[in-house]
């Protein structure tokens, strides 16, 4: 199960996604700009930021439970497994988080 896709979906819907046991992701709007050095225009976009302090929230559990038609306990289990794997991988490498980046 790709938990990162559900995190992205929450960010698109609510601009915040709390991952229990890990932290929260927030989106903020970045203005477009022109780079003279690269002679390239960068359009406005949303940028995800991570905050390790906010670790409690049920929106992700609810979303996964509803979308996958599983119990909330099962959804919590998959999230806990995802967080444990992510933390272990982050000890030695940069870890990709779906389409959000690393």
CATH code matching the domain that covers 3-92, chosen among 1.10.10, 4.10.520, 3.40.720, 3.30.1340: 4.10.520
Q: Tokens 């976009």 appear where? A: 45
Residue ranges per structural domain of the chain: 3-92
Q: How far apart, in whole angstroms, are the C-alpha atoms of residue 16 and residue 63?
A: 13
pTM of the shown model = 0.78
Q: Nearest 5 degrees, angle CA 30-CA 52-CA 28? A: 15
Q: How, if at all, do strands 16-19 and 23-30 pair?
A: antiparallel
pLDDT tens track of the chain, all 102 residues?
789 899 989 988 888 899 998 999 888 888 999 999 999 999 998 888 888 887 777 799 999 999 999 999 999 999 999 999 989 988 888 888 777 777
Tell me what pLDDT residue 46 has: 80
Tell me what pLDDT residue 12 has: 86
Q: Which residues pair with 40 in a beta bridge?
A: 35
């Amino acid at each position: 199960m790709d938990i990162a896709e559900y995190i992205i979906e929450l960010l698109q819907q609510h601009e915040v996604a709390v991952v229990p046991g890990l932290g929260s992701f927030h989106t903020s709007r970045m203005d477009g700009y022109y780079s003279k050095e690269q002679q390239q225009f960068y359009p406005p976009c949303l940028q995800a930021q991570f905050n390790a302090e906010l670790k409690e929230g049920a929106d992700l559990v609810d979303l996964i439970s509803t979308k996958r038609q599983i119990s909330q306990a099962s959804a919590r289990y998959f999230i806990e497994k995802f967080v444990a794997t992510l933390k272990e991988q982050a000890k030695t490498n940069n870890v990709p988080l779906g389409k959000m980046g690393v």
